[in-house]
Amino acid sequence: MDQTPITHWFLENTLEALQLFKCLSDDTRLKTCLLLAKYEELCVCELVEALDVIQPKISRHLAQLRSCGLLQDRKNGQWVFYKLHPDLPEWAINTITEAAKHNAEYISECEGRLAAMQNRPTREACC
């Protein structure tokens, strides 16, 4: 999908620690990023199931994470998939990835719901 002007600006400028931690300061946004660090890519419906929140709430948080430049999305038919933005500075990706590794209990309930989810969308390679 096209980058918003805010995301475009963000990617052209250096991410500072304060910006990253402000973007992650909400439980839903933090868990979303930790899950994406572990699973690489998830669909909106998978995030709704894993986080046990309604779709409008997760969509609002995903929009905030996109506007911060932390996430990238792609559409595949009816599904919208999200992943950590590949242009994030290495230190930011490492921070999120390490947080996911060392806080497994924090996202364990989310992972259990995700593992139990029926009819998960299939992933096809992006062009």
Mean per-residue pLDDT for 107-122?
94
**Global pTM?**
0.85
Residue 44: both structure tokens together: 């909106």
pLDDT in tens, 57-103: 999 999 999 999 999 999 988 889 999 999 999 999 999 999 999 99
pLDDT at residue 2, as a whole number? 46
Between 76 and 123, the more confident residue is: 76
Rounded to whole angstroms, what are the CA distances from 121 to 14, 17, 18?
Answer: 35, 34, 35
Domains and CATH numbers, the chain: 5-116 (1.10.10.10)
pLDDT at residue 32, as a whole number? 98
**What are 73's strand-pairing partners?**
82
Average pLDDT, the chain: 88
Query: Does the pLDDT at position 8 exceed 60?
Result: no
* 119 Rama sector, left if φ>0, alpha if ψ -120 to 50, beta otherwise: left
Mean per-residue pLDDT for 8-37?
85
